[in-house]
Structure 1
Amino acid sequence: KKGDNTSKVFVEKAMSKVIYNMISDNNKCHGKKLSVVKVDYGDVSVRKTLRENLKCKPFSWYLENIYPDSQIPRRYYSLGEIRNVETNQCLDNMGRKENEKVGIFNCHGMGGNQVFSYTADKEIRTDDLCLDVSRLNGPVIMLKCHHMRGNQLWEYDAERLTLRHVNSNQCLDEPSEEDKMVPTMQDCSGSRSQQWLLRNMTLGT
Structure 2
Amino acid sequence: MERTPSHLLKEIILVDDNSSNEELKEKLTEYVDKVNGQKPGFIKVVRHSKQEGLIRSRVSGWRAATAPVVALFDAHVEFNVGWAEPVLTRIKENRKRIISPSFDNIKYDNFEIEEYPLAAQGFDWELWCRYLNPPKAWWKLENSTAPIRSPALIGCFIVDRQYFQEIGLLDEGMEVYGGENVELGIRVWQCGGSVEVLPCSRIAHIERAHKPYTEDLTAHVRRNALRVAEVWMDEFKSHVYMAWNIPQEDSGIDIGDITARKALRKQLQCKTFRWYLVSVYPEMRMYSDIIAYGVLQNSLKTDLCLDQGPDTENVPIVYICHGMTPQNVYYTSSQQIHVGTLSPTVDDDDNRCLVDVNSRPRLIECSYAKAKRMKLHWQFSQGGPIQNRKSKRCLELQENSDSEFGFQLVLQKCSGQHWSITNVLRSLAS
Scaled by the length of structure 2, the TM-score of the pair is: 0.36
2:254 maps to: 44
How is 1:70-81 mapped onto 2 (pairs within 5 angstroms)? Answer: 70-71=284-285, 73-81=287-295
Which letter does structure 2 place at the counterpart of 1:122? Q
Select 2:362's aligned residue among 130, 141, 146: 141
Select 2:320's aligned residue among 84, 103, 106: 106
Q: Distance in 2 between matches of 1:183 and 1:49?
A: 47
Instruction: Tell me if 1:119 matches 2:332.
Output: yes
User: Conserved in 1, the CA contact under 8 Å of 2:227 and 2:255?
Assistant: no
1:87/1:10 CA distance change after superposition, 3 Å = closer
Instruction: Tell me if 1:19 matches 2:232.
Output: no
Instruction: Tell me if 1:132 matches 2:371.
Output: no
2:189 maps to: none
Instruction: Tell me if 1:162 matches 2:388.
Output: no
1:200/1:72 CA distance change after superposition, 3 Å = farther
1:200 maps to: 423
Q: Which runs of 5+ in 1 are unaligned?
A: 33-41
Select 1:153's aligned residue among 377, 382, 387: 377
How much does 1:19 deviate?
Answer: 2.2
Which letter does structure 2 place at the counterpart of 1:188? C
1:100/1:53 CA distance change after superposition, 3 Å = same
2:4 maps to: none
Instruction: Tell me if 1:186 matches 2:412.
Output: yes
Select 2:242's aligned residue among 23, 26, 29: 29
Deviation per CA, 1:117-149, whole angstroms, max 9, x where unpaired?
11111111124110111223x1x1110113355
1:30/1:118 CA distance change after superposition, 3 Å = closer
Q: Distance in 2 between matches of 1:29 and 1:76?
A: 9
Q: Distance in 1 between matches of 2:420 and 2:265?
A: 31
Q: Distance in 2 between matches of 1:121 and 1:14?
A: 34
Tell me which protein shows more helix as a share of its residues.
2
Query: Which secondary structure does the structure 1 equivalent of 2:222 belong to?
Result: helix
1:115/1:53 CA distance change after superposition, 3 Å = farther
Q: Which runs of 5+ in 2 are unaligned?
A: 1-20, 22-207, 231-236, 246-251, 267-272, 343-350, 426-430
1:64/1:195 CA distance change after superposition, 3 Å = farther
Deviation per CA, 1:92-138, whole angstroms, max 9, x where unpaired?
113524x61012112223x41111111111111124110111223x1
2:399 maps to: 176
1:36 maps to: none
Deviation per CA, 1:22-57, whole angstroms, max 9, x where unpaired?
45674522436xxxxxxxxx962424777888899x
User: Conserved in 1, the CA contact under 8 Å of 2:397 and 2:407?
Assistant: no
Scaled by the length of structure 1, the TM-score of the pair is: 0.68
Which letter does structure 1 place at the counterpart of 2:378? W
User: Conserved in 1, the CA contact under 8 Å of 2:277 and 2:284?
Assistant: no
How much does 1:175 deviate?
Answer: 4.0
Q: Distance in 2 between matches of 1:53 and 1:83?
A: 42
1:30/1:124 CA distance change after superposition, 3 Å = closer
User: Conserved in 1, the CA contact under 8 Å of 2:356 and 2:375?
Assistant: yes
Deviation per CA, 1:162-195, whole angstroms, max 9, x where unpaired?
11012221111114314346411121121xxx21
RMSD (Å) for aligned C-alpha atoms = 3.8
1:83 maps to: 297
2:109 maps to: none
Q: Distance in 2 between matches of 1:47 and 1:9?
A: 26
How much does 1:8 deviate?
Answer: 4.2
1:121/1:69 CA distance change after superposition, 3 Å = farther
Q: Distance in 1 between matches of 2:295 and 2:356?
A: 20
Query: Which secondary structure does the structure 1 equivalent of 2:291 belong to?
Result: strand
